[in-house]
Amino acid sequence: MQQYIAHRGDTVSRIAARHGLTPEHVVQGNPWASRQPYLYPGQILFLPSAPRKRYAVQEGDDAEVISALFGVSLDELERLNPGVTSRRWCVPGKELVIPLAAPRTEVYLRGEYGPVDVEADIGKLINKYPFIQKDSIGTSVLGKPLHLLKIGSGSRHLHVNAALHANEWLTAPCLMSFIEQYAAAYAEGKAWNGHHPEEWYSNWTIWAVPMANPDGVELVQEGVLSGHPYYEELMKWNGGRRSFRHWKANIRGVDLGDQFPAHWEEERTRRRVPAPAPRDYSGPASLSEPEAAALAQLAEEVPGTAAVSLHSQGGEIYWNYRGYEPPESKELAVSLAAASGYRAVELTGSDAGYKDWFIQRFRRPGFTVELGTGKNPLPLADFEDMALETGLILATILSNLK
């Protein structure tokens, strides 16, 4: 067992990932961690040694086959198993120690994916793919940047945002993953799941805001300590609960999904939430929150051909709004559903969302996509499937909408 002292921003999942463990390993050495919603700086944890993955050599194996099987380099395999690259040593039945596979992509989960991870991954992507442009559309209530990634040179514009709701943060790495896969395929001149990124690049420009509610995401993942500028208010709005994993709103208790000027007053009356809360409070006025106002301002400055707001969960695609949507929206929604395995749903009785406002304001196709199924926050194990589904949906728009 090794001793570890928790720092600000640490979570069980992040510590586990950093030490080559699973969250279950960390909890096993620290049973109290399963009953405490968050770690606090200064708490001491006892971490077991990382378990070694082992493999018994099979008939026909050699070092190259084994390295490809586990996605590890020959050098790393040789370092832990001296002599393995010699065929005389790599014989059936021989037990090998398998090193941890290095990540094959820049965007991957190191535990919960928060504002720090977005910023770090953006830096890696623009360094690796200089044709991706980085900007900011403003800042959150607490001054965190609202990052913008721009890719493509076409005259059609696709607006995409994710993590508008705090406990739906898994949508952020899904969007980031698609940007990376698109960039990699374009740079290498390769197709992506049957689509052609070089055509996307020449026909479209994507404007992506991967984490529209960074303050709220951080609150969900890390909780709040007494030195936080909104500590007293947050504890009151949260009914005294320490856990904020159910929190959808921004740091001022305003639900950004109900902030847009599309029959906003009716939505506020329907919700009947008169004050800051974990969810469903529409705010004192539409676009009162800097995060929502920044998204609207971007769309006003660069009128979009289409827009997608990524949420979770439900495996559904909402495509209409009070009859304001153009005729092609329904047919395109059916195509998106077919590509992703989701359901295209004609939604009624909901207003003031980003998709609602975009459709009403520009009369262009807009979609709310509910990624995954289960209970928010969705488990990290769902990331790979959700990231692919995100890509298939966006790729279908980029390949089919004229």
First to last CA, the chain: 59
| DSSP summary character for residue 288 | -
Question: Which amino acid is residue 72, in one-letter code?
Answer: V
In 3-state terms the chain splits into helix, strand, coil percentages (rounded to 5) of 40, 15, 45
Q: What radius of gyration, in Å, describes the C-alpha atoms of the chain?
A: 23
DSSP single-letter state for residue 32: G
Catalytic positions: 370
Token couple for 134: 């980085």
Cβ proximity of 39 and 6 under 8 Å: yes
Longest CA pairwise span in the chain (Å): 77
Question: 354-362 vs 290-301: helix axis angle to the nearest 10?
Answer: 30
Judge whether 220 and 169 are in contact, CB under 8 Å.
Answer: yes
Token digits for 366?
A: 């807009």
* C-alpha span between 401 and 335 (Å, rounded): 10
Residue identified by tokens 């990124």 is: 197
**β-strand 366-371 against 306-312: which pairing, if any?**
parallel
CA angle 105, 107, 108 (to 5 degrees): 90
Residue 112 to residue 220: CA distance in whole angstroms: 10
What's the distance, CA 103 to chain centroid?
Answer: 17
Contacts of 30 by beta carbon, 8 Å cutoff, 6+ apart: 45, 46
**H or E stretch including 383?**
helix 383-400
Q: Which of 52, 51, 55, 53 is nearest to 95 (CA)?
A: 55
Measured CA to CA, the distance from residue 140 to residue 377 in angstroms comes to 21
CB 256 within 8 A of CB 213: yes
Please state, in angstroms and rounded to a whole number, the distance separating the CA atoms of residues 210 and 245: 20
